[in-house]
Amino acid sequence: MNYSSYIALIPLLPLAGFVLLGLFGRKYFKSAAGIIGTLLLLGSALLSLYTAYQYFLVNGKTGDTYQTITAFKYTWLSFSDKVSIDMGVLLDPISVMMLVVVTFVSLMVHIFSLGYMKGEERFATYYAFLGLFTFSMLGLVLSSNLFQIYMFWELVGVSSFLLIGYYFDRPSAVAASKKAFIVTRFADLGFLIGILVLAFYGETLDFQTLLHTLTTQQSAQHVAVVTASFAGVTALTWGVTLLFMGGAGKSAMFPLHIWLPDAMEGPTPVSALIHAATMVVAGVYLVARMFPLFAMSQSALDVVTVVGASSAVIAAIIACTQTDIKRVLAYSTMSQIGFMMFSLGLIKAHGTYSVGYTASMFHLFTHAFFKSLLFLGAGSVIHMVHSNEMKDMGGLRKYMPITHITFLIACLAIAGIWPFAGFFSKEEILLTAYQSNKIVYGIALLTSGLTAFYMFRLYFSIFWNKEAHLHGDSHGEGTWSMKLPLLILAVCSIAAGLIPFGSYVSINGKELESHMDLSFSIAPLAMGIGGILLAMWMYRKENNKPQQVATTLNGFYKAAYGKFYIDDLYLFVTKKVVFNLIGRPAAWVDRNIVDGLMNGIANATATVSNWIKGVQSGKVQNYTLYFFGGVVALAVVFIYLWK
């Protein structure tokens, strides 16, 4: 089967939805918009599943290795003979895996939104933006060219901006959308410069050619990129680290994570899609895509590890203190992505490939299901109680049984309890950490415990704790369109872990033997169960234990609650430094110094002409006087000076 015959349809169907609903939705498809968008996405999802089936099970392999296939390629903008931006589709295990994740989660979100967003005034616009996002994200994962991925990278950024700012009349939503865009834009500056560096040395933008030439030891490009250096760091390390900066921004890694919690201002299904399952893992995907280059630079890998591990633990600590359920989930996302990142970073440079690559991708895969389930569940809860705050919730298990059970499944999955999906993927990550770096292993183990704790703090606070006090106008658990995605995703959150992931996705395309060691699982499981029990003890019934703990840990608790003041630091830098020390002076200098100079020249000219205009008085007597004066002067000159 030839992929090129239909593969372009996968991203183009959602794009068609965007164009159709964006242009005509508000007028003609006010209520049908949801169905149109969902059907188009269904087509896209089915094609993706078919592609995955074809690739993984039928004809993706040559011998024992999965091949990288360029399904099509079109030169979009050429800079020189070799360097050009091509629009292409690249199929390899990770892109096909992402194809399934993106279309599947997007489909669930489309269905869920049918109920959740019903009656919204800009319903069609909402589905148009969802289509735009899905298109961009699919373009991103299928990219065959470094610049192509950057373009779609920017497009997912803007879709995220549009969707966060969907409730545009709320100042907080506007601020959040701005923040998300600007912070990731700043990170993308690194991405862009990284592209410039790598393209300069690699003399191409095409992924396969780039990775091949730069990793071939004998090639002139390889020699150039590892010998050229700036400030004592090789061009290669600069290039990939700058790329990683873009990835860290998009994936909300410390210290570029500040936009993610605020991004929760968007509609909750959007958070499930963009800020949990797909866009935020783009950074991990980028590192995985460019991994052969990362693997040549131990310092770049170390950066990835440090950033990933610190994000994992910092976010987990903050998550324990937040009271807005979506923010808890946002920090949890950041923490889990940290796991995926350091799992990649821990693979040793120039060494044999460890299990880390597969583990990272596996966790990305399972996380997409249980985290989108958590967000959709949270959406269902918010739909019921009309609040994001934990204090407004409690005792909801009786009122929303399906949400309750599915949420519990997702919590068990993220806490890494056997046999839920998160157990298997996290286990592999911990194994990677154990084998390569004991400090990271310690951090990861601690974070696992924290994860279980804050997730079950959330679970007990929503569904147990105090008795429910619902308002009279509450409308039950929501429509079937909201319940169905929850059920499907819950099944996935259990089943996804059972997939022998290593036989499909590995760094070299060959099957990876997974060694699941039972004795190794004891520590993580103990941490997970410990966390759950602690949360149960503190939050199952309404009591003052949480208060006491907070008081005991006074300073630390406040710091964590205040998100370790990282936001405030940013605010200081932007408001005080960028605006007051750069922007304001620039504007002032322009008006007063530079323009003052121009006006000064004009004024000087005017003044001089004022002085000399008296000469042309129009009086004949004066002219006669000047004339004779001139004649006398010339006479003097001729007589005395000529000789």
Partner 1 sequence: MNLLILLIAPLVTALAILPVKGLKQVRAIALAGSLLQLGLTFATLMSFLSERSSGKTNEFLLEQNFAWYRDLNINFHLGVDGISIAMMLLTAFVVVAGVLVSWKMEKMSKEFFFLLIFLSMGAYGFFMALDLFTLFFFLEVAVIPKFLLIGIWGSGKKEYSAMKLALMLMAGSALVLVGLTGLYFYSDFHGTRTFDIVEISSRNIPLGVQQILFPFTFIGFGIFTALFPFHTWVPDGHSSAPTAASMFLAGISMKLGGYGCLRVATWLMPQAAQEYSTIIIVLASIGILYGAFATMMQTDLKYINAYSSVSHTSFVILGIAMLTKTAINGAVLQMISHGLMTALFFAVIGMIYERTHTREVAKLGGLLKVMPFISTVFVIAGLCSLGLPGFSGFVAEMTVFMGSWERIGLLYRIATIAGAASIVVTAVYILRATGKSIMGPVANQEFNGFSDAAWNEKLAAIVLVAGILIMGLAPFLLKDLINPGTEEIMQKIVSSIK
Name which position in 8, 16, 39, 83 contacts partner 1 (CB under 8 A): 83
Name which position in 58, 518, 598, 612 contacts partner 1 (CB under 8 A): 598
On whether the CB atoms of residues 289 and 309 are closer than 8 A, the answer is: no
Our finding on whether 192 is near partner 1 (CB under 8 A) is yes
Least distance (Å) from partner 1 to the CB of residue 83? 7
Stretch in the footprint of partner 1 (CB under 8 A) among 184-192, 387-395, 400-408, 453-461: 184-192
**Paired sense of beta strands 233-234 and 229-230, if any:** antiparallel
Least distance (Å) from partner 1 to the CB of residue 563? 22
User: Which residue lies nearer to partner 1 by CB, 175 or 495?
Assistant: 175
- Separation between Cα atoms, residue 155 and residue 133, nearest integer Å: 8
Our finding on whether 389 is near partner 1 (CB under 8 A) is no
Kindly write out the interface string for residues 3-42 of this chain, putting x where it contacts partner 1 by CB under 8 A and - elsewhere. -----------------------x----------------
Which run of H or E residues covers position 86? strand 84-91
* Count of Cβ atoms closer than 10 Å to residue 495 Cβ: 14
On whether the CB atoms of residues 278 and 137 are closer than 8 A, the answer is: yes
Our finding on whether 182 is near partner 1 (CB under 8 A) is yes
Question: For residue 203, what are the CA distances in angstroms to 225, 287, 312, 465?
Answer: 11, 20, 36, 61
User: In the numeric block, which tokens belong to residue 384?
Assistant: 């019921």
Name which position in 586, 633, 635, 637 contacts partner 1 (CB under 8 A): 586
Our finding on whether 595 is near partner 1 (CB under 8 A) is yes
40, 45, 47, 52: CA torsion to nearest 10: 170
Contacts of 321 (CB under 8 A, 6+ apart): 550, 557, 560, 561
User: Which residue lies nearer to partner 1 by CB, 572 or 579?
Assistant: 579
| Dihedral sign from CA coordinates of 461, 330, 44, 119 | positive
- Separation between Cα atoms, residue 128 and residue 133, nearest integer Å: 9
On whether the CB atoms of residues 341 and 300 are closer than 8 A, the answer is: no
Least distance (Å) from partner 1 to the CB of residue 120? 14
Our finding on whether 408 is near partner 1 (CB under 8 A) is no
Least distance (Å) from partner 1 to the CB of residue 617? 26
Least distance (Å) from partner 1 to the CB of residue 189? 5
User: Which residue lies nearer to partner 1 by CB, 154 or 392?
Assistant: 154
Name which position in 57, 233, 582, 637 contacts partner 1 (CB under 8 A): 582
Our finding on whether 584 is near partner 1 (CB under 8 A) is yes
- Which residue in 43, 35, 51 sits closest to 111, CA to CA? 35
Our finding on whether 522 is near partner 1 (CB under 8 A) is no
Our finding on whether 429 is near partner 1 (CB under 8 A) is no
Our finding on whether 151 is near partner 1 (CB under 8 A) is yes
What stretches of 33-123 adopt beta strand conformation (E)? 61-62, 65-66, 69-78, 84-91
Our finding on whether 72 is near partner 1 (CB under 8 A) is no
Stretch in the footprint of partner 1 (CB under 8 A) among 177-185, 292-300, 318-326, 380-388: 177-185
Our finding on whether 594 is near partner 1 (CB under 8 A) is yes
Least distance (Å) from partner 1 to the CB of residue 587? 4
Stretch in the footprint of partner 1 (CB under 8 A) among 77-85, 431-439, 465-473, 617-625: 77-85
Residue in the block written with tokens 């997007």: 106
Q: Residue 161 burial by CB count (10 A; 0-12/13-18/19+): exposed, middle or buried?
A: buried
Least distance (Å) from partner 1 to the CB of residue 258? 15
- Separation between Cα atoms, residue 493 and residue 409, nearest integer Å: 7
Q: Residue 310 burial by CB count (10 A; 0-12/13-18/19+): exposed, middle or buried?
A: middle
Our finding on whether 186 is near partner 1 (CB under 8 A) is yes
Name which position in 5, 59, 75, 603 contacts partner 1 (CB under 8 A): 75
Name which position in 28, 579, 627, 638 contacts partner 1 (CB under 8 A): 579
Our finding on whether 427 is near partner 1 (CB under 8 A) is no
On whether the CB atoms of residues 93 and 504 are closer than 8 A, the answer is: yes
Our finding on whether 154 is near partner 1 (CB under 8 A) is yes
Contacts of 393 (CB under 8 A, 6+ apart): 325, 381, 385, 387, 461, 462, 465, 468
* Count of Cβ atoms closer than 10 Å to residue 591 Cβ: 10
Name which position in 119, 171, 614, 618 contacts partner 1 (CB under 8 A): 171
User: Which residue lies nearer to partner 1 by CB, 49 or 193?
Assistant: 193
On whether the CB atoms of residues 395 and 468 are closer than 8 A, the answer is: yes
Stretch in the footprint of partner 1 (CB under 8 A) among 43-51, 74-82, 276-284, 503-511: 74-82
Give φ, ψ of 70 to 5 degrees. -95, 105
Stretch in the footprint of partner 1 (CB under 8 A) among 106-114, 278-286, 305-313, 593-601: 593-601
Name which position in 35, 46, 57, 189 contacts partner 1 (CB under 8 A): 189
User: In the numeric block, which tokens belong to residue 97?
Assistant: 């895996």
- Which residue in 509, 98, 434 sits closest to 283, CA to CA? 98
- Separation between Cα atoms, residue 575 and residue 584, nearest integer Å: 11
User: Which residue lies nearer to partner 1 by CB, 196 or 526?
Assistant: 196
- Separation between Cα atoms, residue 447 and residue 235, nearest integer Å: 34
Binding site for partner 1 (CB under 8 A): 26, 75-80, 83, 85, 147, 150-152, 154-155, 158, 165, 168-171, 174-175, 177-178, 181-182, 185-186, 189, 192-193, 196-197, 199-200, 578-579, 582-584, 586-587, 590, 594-595, 597-599, 602
